[in-house]
Amino acid sequence: MAALIKGIKFAAQISNRNPALLYMTVRNHGWNKDFKPGKFPETEKDREAAAKKYGLAPAEYQPYPDDGLGYGDYPKLPDVPAESRDPYYPYDFPELKRNLHEPLHAETDFWAEDRYGSAEPLRYSMKTYWLSFLGVMTGCFAIYYWLEDYKMFRPVLAKQYPYEGKQHYTFESK
């Protein structure tokens, strides 16, 4: 009976699309332990089991190379920034542009929507950007060099003292 109530709450939370409640429920369903990387798959059977574990087809499952970084059997997902994903797709979490139980990229903090993303190709070649930068910097240095002789300062008169600079005070006692 408790499982049925939990399931009904879970379905209501998905239909309401309340991510805060959904994350609290996901925490109780073992999502973290299911997505914890296992050992690097050595055989074809291990590869198929890992692909099933992460919800991928065996043809599209590609693990990270076993180079000692500790990724294990975690899938190597394409480097696609969040901003290039379809904004009109009905995601489970539209503000994050991802679905429930969708594997995260191993470097998901780098590909989040508030980070750099190369979603679109550059308008001009990098050579054009570098030449523009160097041209502007050269122009700035040329103007600085040309105007170096013209000192810029705040025009201020000489300090004026009473009695035309004569001593008007003493520290002697009377």
Q: 3-state SS of 9-37?
A: HHHHHHHHCCHHHHHHHHHHCCHHHHCCC
Q: Does residue 153 surpass a pLDDT of 70?
A: yes
Cα–Cα distance measured from residue 72 to residue 29, given in angstroms and rounded to the nearest whole number: 23
Predicted confidence at residue 165, as pLDDT, reads 64
Q: Please state the rounded mean pLDDT for residues 62-76.
A: 85
Q: Give the angle 50-99-16 at the CA atoms, nearest 5°.
A: 140
Q: Across all residues in the chain, what is the average pLDDT?
A: 78
**Tokens representing 145?**
């060099």
| 3-class state of residue 118 by DSSP | coil
User: 33 near 23, Cβ under 8 Å?
Assistant: no
**Residues 6 or more apart whose Cβ sits within 8 Å of residue 84:** 117, 119, 120
Name the percent of the chain lying above pLDDT 90: 21
Cα–Cα distance measured from residue 174 to residue 164, given in angstroms and rounded to the nearest whole number: 25
Q: Does residue 156 surpass a pLDDT of 90?
A: no
Of 23-32, 49-58, 87-96, 146-155, the one with minimum mean pLDDT is: 23-32
pLDDT digits (tens, 9 = 90+) for 100-136: 888 888 888 887 777 777 667 788 999 999 999 999 9
Residue 23 binned pLDDT confidence (cut-offs 50, 70, 90): very low
Residue 9 binned pLDDT confidence (cut-offs 50, 70, 90): low
For residues 30 and 70, which has the higher predicted lDDT (pLDDT)?
Answer: 70
Predicted confidence at residue 12, as pLDDT, reads 56
